[in-house]
Amino acid sequence: MNSAEKTLRLLRILSQPPYVFGVTELGEMINCGKSGTFKLLSALVGEGFAAQTKEHKYTLGLSAYLLGKSYEQHIGVTAFARPYLVRLRDLTNENTSFSMMVNGVPTLICREESKQLVRVVGEEGQARPFYVGAISKLLCAYEDESMIRKKLMEEPLTAYTENTITSPEAILKEFAQIRKQGYACSNGELNIETFGVAAPITNASGETWAALSIGAPRSRVDEVKRERFIFMVCEMAREMSREFNQGIVSK
């Protein structure tokens, strides 16, 4: 990696747990010497993208927040999705979420939690395994197949529960079925106690760029509710796609 690539890599690392890192640790993560890493961090601190703690470790700085805030204000992905999530949450009384592929990884962008005491736990910004769960399967099903085959070659396929699909051929078959039916379901794949269903949000060319999903405890989802959730998430994803594409055209 050149200096620019190492600097960008530092920013990405600082944005991930545990959010506070030492110079030596960061240097090892970007394959750079301590003095070189310190110089890169000093540049980030100078521009406000990194900050130093009292313990002489490093975190993200205020400029990183302002950059993200500017992005959200101008692109408005969360602002666009939030009203739909609230509406779907209130209709189903279950968790709803909006997710996208971020650097090739299915990532939960924003969510609305169920008001029920027992609900599925999740966190905005959380990355998901590419082959497990409704969100990940939905987003990856519409990715370029060569990229998915590469992931199947290079990434470990962990069985999170007895329902996790870990056969590469079975995963490819599942993705093909998702494209055919237009939605993805997960029944205890990532966590044995949870059920999820996701549908694609598409652009004007019909390409999937995001996913809308419902997540609930399996104990609350019988066959009737399952079919209702599938219908509701697909209908609302279509509505989101229409509004998004009309907004793009009108601009």
Residue 221 phi/psi, 5-degree rounding, is -115, 95
Q: Is the pLDDT of residue 197 over 70?
A: yes
Top-level class of domain 76-250: alpha beta
pLDDT digits (tens, 9 = 90+) for 199-209: 999 998 899 99
Report pTM: 0.70
pLDDT digits (tens, 9 = 90+) for 120-138: 766 677 788 999 999 999 9
**Structure token pair of residue 167:** 């056969």
Q: Which of 87, 91, 84, 112 is nearest to 239 (CA)?
A: 84
Q: What is the CA radius of gyration of the chain?
A: 20
pLDDT digits (tens, 9 = 90+) for 63-107: 888 777 666 655 568 888 999 999 999 999 999 999 999 878 898
Domain 3-66 matches domain 76-250 at the CATH topology level: no
Q: How confident is the model at residue 251 (pLDDT cuts 50, 70, 90)?
A: very low
Domain boundaries, the chain: 3-66, 76-250
Domain 3-66 has CATH 3.40.640.10: no
Residue 153: half-sphere exposure toward Cβ, Cα within 13 Å: 6
- Would you tell me how many other CB atoms lie within 10 Å of the CB of residue 121? 10
Kindly report the average pLDDT of the chain as a whole number.
90
Looking at residue 71, its pLDDT comes to 62
